[in-house]
Structure 1
Amino acid sequence: MQAIYCRIFTTIGLSVFSITAFAQERRTISGTVRDGKNGELVIGATIKVEEDPTISVIANEYGFYSISLPEGNYTVAVAYGGYENYRQTVQLNQNVKLDLILSQEKERTAQIEEVIVSAVKKDQNLTSAQMGTETLSIKSIEKLPVLFGEKDVLKTIQLLPGIKSNGEGSSGFSVRGGATDQNLILLDEAPVYNASHLLGFFSTFNSDALKDASIIKGNSPAQYGGRLSSVMDVKMKDGNNKDYNVNGGIGLISSRLSVEGPIQKEKSSFIVSGRRTYADVFLKATDDFKNSKLYFYDLNLKANYQINENNRLYISGYFGRDVLGLGNTFATDWGNTTATVRWNSILNSKLFSNTSFIYSNYDYKVSLSSNDNTFGLDSQIQDWNLKQDFTWFAGNNHSVRFGLQSIYHTITPSSASGTSVSSFPRNSRYSWENAFYINDDFKANEKLTINYGLRLSMFSVLGGDNFNIYENGVLTGGQFLEKGKFGKTYVNLEPRITANYRINEVSSIKGGYARNTQNLHLLSNSSSGNPTDQWIGSSYTVKPEIADQISAGYSRNFNNNNYEVNAEIYYKSMQNQIDFKNGAEITFDAAADVEGELLFGKGRAYGLELIAKKKNGKLTGWISYTLSKTERKINGINNNDWYNARQDKTHDLSVVATYELTPKWSFSGLFVYSTGNAVTFPTGKYELQGQTIFQYSDRNADRMPAYHRMDLSATYEPGKNKRFQSSWSFGIYNLYGRENAYTITFEDNPDKPGTTRALQTSLFKFVPNITYNFKF
């Protein structure tokens, strides 16, 4: 198998580099694509040559493009959602640097023709080889009804097929049967390990600070790695380099404010964006909770500087924290910190370089006190990351990505202290993760486009701790590594390929295969996830998770690309899946080792995803449906038979619509329905020393009740002037007051001794919201 992978890698290299002879005989038009109003780079714009309709290239995620042509006169054209059509004549007798400056559509036109799901070209679903990919325009989510009136990119992606919410009040999500930790979430290339605030009611992403967000469901290009199920790539705004802007919003329990503008006009810019909730202010007005804390804050910062016409430097950061407390008896706080320093360089007319230094940190702390007893718990995961990425426009039909990534992980397991337990520090565990990759987006002809690549990933366990070795939860040995020493190293090759064949002007078919590996794992006892869930790395006992996914799809557009229907099927096979053994005891004892409570096995997930979109006109929206199954088979659980994974949901339906009644009034609504999460309920009970002990049978053999709700909102935009814009948003979450189950617990029925009753906890019956938004 290794020899086969090596031959694949060699073939890719030869096919890519053999293009140079052809490319060298031509002249090149290259540059960046920018928004003429604020100077922001435009991601994913398609650039065409009118004299040869077969030639088109797509600007990369840093706005860079390159086209190779014989000498002559040409007309370069750009058509991109939300912008006026762009045309420019170029006399090409030498290499030409041409920055394309796009003008935004007039406001009234942009409102009527707003793209709801995607701001890419209208037939992108028919031409791109990439499968299972959705790109969200931040503008498109502004009017969707959401909890507490906060527009939220994470909540919006959960309305798309194959992406399932982990439950009400949770920002966690499952993609094609994967667990929450199997999603790679990036903010300006920095991994975010907990993307939620207030136990999942808000996400970490302040949409005012964001430019673009895309999610790839398993078939990601080779430059992405480290997770099995999906990549969510979120990019912050660069900041307006032409003028100063202030925008924000005031809601019932939270407010936000953003400031952006030039540092040196058209050469450098900045953006600062912050949010804070103030539920704790209302708590202080009550006698029972006046000493309680319940709030979060976050801050997004970014600045960039154009060194010269070919080099630009970016610095961005995110800081977020949650604080919950109940008097002097309970307190917990958790948060993320990320920082990215990025250097973009146009090395020549065909080669673009991006060098990134990235820092990411997630930690939590819990403290309890009762009388003279105290208890504390804390944990941390920290990354230092170097990434070097090249984009090579080898020809009009080849866009090649290649590079490397190196991450130094420090994971501090849950450590306890206090009077109620024996205080002990946990040793931090260190690991080094490296990857090399190459990927080619190849337009074979007018009908066939292929995206293929290979990723070589390596994960090394580093010294500084004692590693126990377990087999099926039984201790069989141990290994002590001195700090700085190399221990176990895992090496995996990850081939990926997707292809798109355009049947005709309105339809296409796609197919793909991808292998992904994962070396960081989240241990959780719940499907929704908690801030105190514990991250661990691969070790002598815990092996890398591996997933092989095959998928196929069909796309069809109607009425001049104003409507589209997409269908995909997939099958995913997973190795080295992790679950707790029956009766696992997660204790905070100095001798306790969580790896001894784990079992390992395999998994499978398969399903059908359907989505129909109406993209233009006064009424826009989509209907998505997913039929799926995800299971695990782990020796020691459920008699070694297949059982439902916690995130298994058979049916998942979303209906989303936005209607613009007038230029001032627009309305939106959504309806969601899904099968309940798989859970384990008791099947019997017995009494032991006066206490009732419940007895359980098969793992995840039961279901929570089905989940459904409807949300509505209205947006009013009064008359605008040149400098000031404002809007009012009114909404109601869970319109008909459905009491969806958050948890179900069981206890002895005091009214009927000998019987058991179930108690359901619901979070929200219905929640109204009002938000005032402004910009000047």
Structure 2
Amino acid sequence: MLDSVVVSARRHTAALKQTMPGSYNWNMQQLDFLPKIMGNADPVHYAQMLPGIQTNSEYRSGINIDGCDNSHNAVTLSGVPVYNVGHLLGFFSIFNGPHFKSMNIRRAATNGAYPNRIGGTLDMVPFQNKADSVEGEFSVGLISSQGTMRLPLGKRTSATVSLRGSYINMLYGKWLKTDNTQVSYTFGDANVSVVHELGEHDGLLADFYCGIDNAKFDESHYQANVKATWGNTMGAIHWLHNDSEWNTHNTLYVSAYRNRFSLQMEEAQGRMPSKITDLGFSSASRWHQLSFGGNAVAHIIKPQTIQADNYYSDITSIPHTQKAIEASVYADWRQPLTASLAVNGGARLTLWHIDNNNFKSVDPSITLQYDNNQGLKMSAGWFMRHQYMFQTGFSDAGLPTEFWMSTDAKNSPQYCSGVSAGASIDLGRRMWRVSADVFYRRMYNQIEYSGSLLDCLNSSYDLNNYLLHGNGKNIGFNLMIQKCAGDITGWISYTYTRARRTFNEDGNNTTYPANHERPHELNTVVAWSPGSHWTIGATLVYASGTPFTAPVSASILNGNVIANYGKHNANRLGGYGRLDLSVNYKWKSRHIKEQGLNLSIYNATAHRNDLFYRIRTKKDGSFALRPITFMVDVLPSVSYYCKF
């Protein structure tokens, strides 16, 4: 007989966990341990700090995984796709961190359940358990304020409501200016999730999201005014069943994205709206070692429409609305080989129908996984995936000037074949983790937009005349050292990536770096809790500059600068570097769980990063090519937060 037993363990305070090499699970409730930039610890911002996921500069939104384009990824909210997930020109995402339980990231297809995307996946998972009491949190900062509240609505029902709004122009209006371009910007979004328990093993989850961005740009150089309004709306109902033998998740949803972009110049004005709406049903089930499911989606896509007047002639280019049907089924079988080794094999069958054209694909995948349950994990796999939607446009620099379009008779489905291998090991009583992986992908039927903004105002404008078709190749290596427990947590990661594209232009095949390629990236994230009241965080980024196409000559036509460009992506911006610092001071009171103040400094070293180049007209009539940097060198912010 024992008088007493004491069990002790080391608390893992790291927000980030690796389920397998290349797959990450992030606990959103532990984002408070990470630096808050301008009062926000944004999920997508920190996803860009992971190995294999590219660091973005200030005027670029989205994520690039393993050298793939942003449009190659599936970004979802509880499995429901959402489009263009950036706020504030890519500075924040549309995901309000406190509203969600976790963020799951997978960099490559490891099973048949993986969607029809040739890149990675990022899924935000809301709370699926019922709240027993009223709880919530809110924060008030200099740029935006946000609040989240969880409310019980009876014995079996509860709701989580989150709101966020910005007032940037009120306090930062006079600083929102870059190279004589005055910027006016606001954004806001709302999330509602309702959980209802049907029984011991069954539940219903209803999700709703709505967000909007409004931006205005006064371009003095081009004598132009640009206005853009864009946003997402999503609604879904989920039925979940979980027991010891059978799990299923069925979803009925609608997801819509709309973009209204307009341009007014001295002798021309134009509008370029686009939108996409998905109505779908998906089902995923697991029974012992077998997983299977499918989805059926109706896509209603309106590619970029050009409407212009007061130019040489009036232009009305109205492509027909694309209506496509996507149907997929999949099956996966996990077969244990030993106590530590297992193989997972699967296949995904897809039918895509549009305008009396049918496209079919069979995408297999196989993954070998090793886990000795003592800290060592290894995996290796091969996969193939088809993707039936494209995103393109004349610029991806923060504004939603890119639009979606479907596979059709003129644009074959893009597809990818890839291999990856990786390993991770826990050291020092699981206090440290070291992981590394390699990847290689070949991509086919890629497209790229070769036109410019002024081409859209051409009376003979035809979208297909500005699309280049070609192939791509991505190769890379990643290494990460992570501190998982203790007063100091975080990681340092290095990524090497080469992303090359080969397109046929004027009858010649030309190979050049992808627009987002950064060969070398170094990311460091550190969170330190020296006591019960203080949390100090820092992030350090250094990355190679992205490619750009330099002009070789320029002229003025009707008051507008017309440039002739040299070899595509033959030049590269200078290296990108940034240090962000954050300090939290928190305290508790009788009726409040926690409250505190956050002070953050964005780009604390005032490093001037070249974001892109533009042509500037001098007073003597000559031209100069000059780099454009962020609006301000250093961006400090203070915010107050409260949890109850």
Q: Same fold (TM over 0.5)?
A: yes
2:21/2:435 contact within 8 Å kept: no
Secondary structure of 2:465's aligned partner: helix
Distance 2:551 2:268 in 1: 33
1:141/1:156 contact within 8 Å kept: no
Distance 1:351 1:340 in 2: 23
Residue 239 of structure 1, CA deviation: 6.3
Gaps (5+ residues) in structure 1?
1-83, 86-104, 119-124, 463-486
Once structures 1 and 2 are overlaid, which stretch shifts more, 230-239 or 575-584?
575-584
User: Which letter maps to 2:523?
Assistant: S
Closer, same or farther: CA 500–312 of 1 in aligned 2, 3 Å: same
Q: Does 1:197 align with 2:66?
A: no
In the other structure, the counterpart of 1:764 is: 632
Distance 1:303 1:592 in 2: 47
1:563-642 matches, within 5 Å, as 563-581=432-450, 586-587=455-456, 592-636=461-505, 639-642=508-511
In the other structure, the counterpart of 1:316 is: 207
Secondary structure of 1:317's aligned partner: strand
Once structures 1 and 2 are overlaid, which stretch shifts more, 277-286 or 159-168?
277-286
User: Which letter maps to 2:581?
Assistant: L
Q: Does 1:391 align with 2:286?
A: yes
User: Which letter maps to 1:358?
Assistant: Y
Distance 1:681 1:592 in 2: 24
In the other structure, the counterpart of 2:276 is: 381
Residue 311 of structure 1, CA deviation: 2.5
Secondary structure of 1:546's aligned partner: strand
Structure 2-normalised TM-score?
0.90
Deviations 1:620-657 (A, max 9, x none): 11000001101011222794132111111110110111
Distance 2:204 2:555 in 1: 67
Once structures 1 and 2 are overlaid, which stretch shifts more, 714-723 or 132-141?
714-723
Closer, same or farther: CA 764–225 of 1 in aligned 2, 3 Å: same
Deviations 1:546-570 (A, max 9, x none): 1111011122221111111111011
Match of 1:342 among 235, 238, 245: 238
Closer, same or farther: CA 588–684 of 1 in aligned 2, 3 Å: closer
Secondary structure of 1:276's aligned partner: strand
User: Which letter maps to 1:117?
Assistant: L
Distance 1:585 1:418 in 2: 11
Distance 2:517 2:199 in 1: 52
In the other structure, the counterpart of 1:115 is: 14
Residue 264 of structure 1, CA deviation: 1.3
CA RMSD of aligned residues (A): 3.1
1:483-498 matches, within 5 Å, as 487-498=356-367
In the other structure, the counterpart of 2:3 is: none
Identical positions, percent: 25
Secondary structure of 2:399's aligned partner: coil
Closer, same or farther: CA 582–503 of 1 in aligned 2, 3 Å: same
Distance 2:429 2:516 in 1: 38
Residue 307 of structure 1, CA deviation: 2.0
Residue 358 of structure 1, CA deviation: 1.1
Q: Does 1:512 align with 2:402?
A: no
1:132-281 matches, within 5 Å, as 132-238=22-128, 240-265=130-155, 267-281=156-170
2:148/2:163 contact within 8 Å kept: yes
Distance 2:451 2:395 in 1: 15
Residue 528 of structure 1, CA deviation: 3.9
Secondary structure of 2:354's aligned partner: strand
2:225/2:264 contact within 8 Å kept: yes
Distance 1:429 1:586 in 2: 23
Once structures 1 and 2 are overlaid, which stretch shifts more, 741-750 or 577-586?
577-586
Deviations 1:322-374 (A, max 9, x none): 1224799653211000111111235x752222211011000011345679986
Closer, same or farther: CA 595–292 of 1 in aligned 2, 3 Å: closer
2:55/2:521 contact within 8 Å kept: no
Question: RCO higher in 1 or 2 (8 Å CA, sep ≥ 6)?
Answer: 2
Secondary structure of 1:768's aligned partner: strand
Q: Does 1:649 align with 2:518?
A: yes
1:244/1:260 contact within 8 Å kept: yes
User: Which letter maps to 1:719?
Assistant: K
Q: Does 1:452 align with 2:342?
A: no
In the other structure, the counterpart of 2:189 is: 298
Once structures 1 and 2 are overlaid, which stretch shifts more, 680-689 or 204-213?
680-689
Deviations 1:195-242 (A, max 9, x none): 011221221000111111011112343212121110101112246421
User: Which letter maps to 2:91?
Assistant: F
User: Which letter maps to 1:758?
Assistant: R
Distance 2:174 2:551 in 1: 42
Residue 304 of structure 1, CA deviation: 1.7
Closer, same or farther: CA 442–663 of 1 in aligned 2, 3 Å: farther
Residue 586 of structure 1, CA deviation: 4.0
Once structures 1 and 2 are overlaid, which stretch shifts more, 437-446 or 209-218?
437-446
User: Which letter maps to 1:632?
Assistant: R
Distance 1:294 1:230 in 2: 30
Deviations 1:677-697 (A, max 9, x none): 111113456899999864433
Match of 2:250 among 350, 355, 365: 355
User: Which letter maps to 2:583?
Assistant: A
Distance 1:530 1:434 in 2: 32
2:21/2:423 contact within 8 Å kept: no
Residue 714 of structure 1, CA deviation: 0.8
1:113/1:618 contact within 8 Å kept: no
Residue 442 of structure 1, CA deviation: 3.3
Residue 143 of structure 1, CA deviation: 3.6
Closer, same or farther: CA 283–709 of 1 in aligned 2, 3 Å: closer
Deviations 1:466-512 (A, max 9, x none): xxxxxxxxxxxxxxxxxxxxx11111111112112347944343211
Closer, same or farther: CA 169–237 of 1 in aligned 2, 3 Å: farther
1:154/1:171 contact within 8 Å kept: no
Secondary structure of 2:38's aligned partner: helix
1:689-728 matches, within 5 Å, as 694-721=563-590, 723-728=592-597
Paired residues in the alignment total 627
Distance 2:457 2:555 in 1: 28
User: Which letter maps to 2:251?
Assistant: S
Secondary structure of 1:635's aligned partner: strand
1:146/1:733 contact within 8 Å kept: no
Once structures 1 and 2 are overlaid, which stretch shifts more, 729-738 or 741-750?
741-750
Distance 2:34 2:44 in 1: 13
Closer, same or farther: CA 459–606 of 1 in aligned 2, 3 Å: same
Distance 2:194 2:300 in 1: 28
Distance 1:204 1:381 in 2: 17
1:361/1:383 contact within 8 Å kept: yes
Residue 573 of structure 1, CA deviation: 0.5
2:137/2:642 contact within 8 Å kept: yes
In the other structure, the counterpart of 1:331 is: 227
Gaps (5+ residues) in structure 2?
1-5, 219-223
Residue 455 of structure 1, CA deviation: 0.6
Distance 1:264 1:588 in 2: 57
Distance 2:369 2:216 in 1: 53
Residue 256 of structure 1, CA deviation: 0.7
Closer, same or farther: CA 602–754 of 1 in aligned 2, 3 Å: same
Residue 757 of structure 1, CA deviation: 4.3
Closer, same or farther: CA 754–767 of 1 in aligned 2, 3 Å: closer
User: Which letter maps to 2:414?
Assistant: E
Deviations 1:26-74 (A, max 9, x none): xxxxxxxxxxxxxxxxxxxxxxxxxxxxxxxxxxxxxxxxxxxxxxxxx
2:396/2:402 contact within 8 Å kept: no
Deviations 1:253-292 (A, max 9, x none): 1101112121113x21111110000124347899x9xx99
Secondary structure of 1:174's aligned partner: coil
